[in-house]
């Protein structure tokens, strides 16, 4: 069974569209995250949720809105997509504050 699964794996869409990326973890972890990886492989935290509660909201345009219906799911909705949003988006989860994260395999978003 996949521990952290993201869908879709690839997403190609036009500028101005609204899209969602879904993430689910079956590890029983309390905390989930969204990271953005740019074309140079740089990873930056976007959001963190602990037990459905927003913990971290980094400097991200408010076109990005995370939603956590339960502690096993953290979805990312993006409004009015822009070319600069093209990246790979990774979902991750963790249990301990000082432990490692388990990452999903990523969603490659291409805005044309």
Partner 1 sequence: GNSVTQMEGPVTLSEEAFLTINCTYTATGYPSLFWYVQYPGEGLQLLLKATKADDKGSNKGFEATYRKETTSFHLEKGSVQVSDSAVYFCALMNQAGTALIFGKGTTLSVSS
Give the residues lining the site for partner 1 (CB under 8 A): 4, 33, 40-45, 48, 55-56, 90, 92, 97-98, 100-106
What's the min distance (Å) between Cβ of 112 and partner 1?
21
What's the min distance (Å) between Cβ of 104 and partner 1?
5
What's the min distance (Å) between Cβ of 97 and partner 1?
4
**Whether the Cβ atoms of residue 92 and residue 27 lie closer than 8 Å to each other:** no
Compare residues 45 and 72 and give the one whose CB is closer to partner 1: 45
Compare residues 34 and 78 and give the one whose CB is closer to partner 1: 34
Alpha helices, H only, 1-112: none
Compare residues 81 and 92 and give the one whose CB is closer to partner 1: 92
Between CA 49 and CA 27 the distance in angstroms is 15
Strand, helix or coil at 85?
helix
Nearest to 79 by CA among 47, 111, 49: 111
What's the min distance (Å) between Cβ of 41 and partner 1?
4
Distance between start and end Cα atoms, the chain: 34
Between CA 64 and CA 66 the distance in angstroms is 7
Compare residues 84 and 97 and give the one whose CB is closer to partner 1: 97
């Amino acid at each position: 069974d996949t521990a952290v699964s993201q869908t879709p794996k690839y997403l190609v869409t036009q500028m101005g569209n609204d899209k969602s990326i879904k993430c689910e973890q079956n590890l029983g972890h309390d905390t989930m995250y969204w990271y953005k990886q740019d074309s140079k492989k740089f990873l930056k935290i976007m959001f963190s949720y602990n037990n459905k509660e927003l913990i971290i909201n980094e400097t991200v345009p408010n076109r990005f809105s995370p939603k956590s219906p339960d502690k096993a799911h953290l979805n990312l909705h993006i409004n009015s997509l822009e070319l600069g949003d093209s990246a790979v988006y990774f979902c991750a989860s963790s249990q301990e504050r000082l432990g490692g994260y388990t990452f999903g395999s990523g969603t490659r978003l291409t805005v044309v």
